Amino acid sequence: VVSTQSTGSNIGTTATAVLAALAATGDKRSVTIQVAISHLLFNICGILVFYPVPFMRKIPIGAAKVLGNTTADYRWFAVIYLILVFLVMPLFFIALSFNLVLLYVVISLLLALLAFVTILNTLQHKVPDKLPEALKTWAFLPLPLRSLGPYDSVFT
């Protein structure tokens, strides 16, 4: 369950950022306030999406469990995850933003891949007998595309 304590602390940290932005002086003040308010509104929207609807609360909790379990199995995963999510991906999308058509194509392909994986996972768990034999498991993919095991020897 998403606790009200974590929700409150999430808003509290962004409120602190707003207060810090108010301390800015000169021509930087409006920019710092704009960034702080954007951060606050982003977190409020996240709470409005995930907190009121009970089944939506399972998404961040489930994701945290999967990431935690993966990190427990592969110690290097946390560092690689942080580098990919907070450095490589933003730089990649910033570079793509200079060519909007390419950006839309890449985002469309990523969304299509996400939809395919989600649908196939759901079908594998709910109605595996309706799937062709090759799609009943992920074994049709090469091992590095379905397991982190092959990368373990590289990073440890």
List, for residues 30-42, the tens digit of each pLDDT value: 899 999 999 999 8
H-state helical runs in the chain: 4-22, 29-50, 54-73, 77-83, 89-96, 100-126, 143-146, 149-155
pTM recorded for the entire structure: 0.68
CB burial of residue 36 (10 Å; 0-12, 13-18, 19+): buried
Which residue would you say has higher pLDDT here, 112 or 24? 112
Residues 6+ apart with CB under 8 A from 155: 74, 76, 80
Question: 135 pLDDT exceeds 80?
Answer: yes
| High-pLDDT (> 70) share of the chain, % | 98
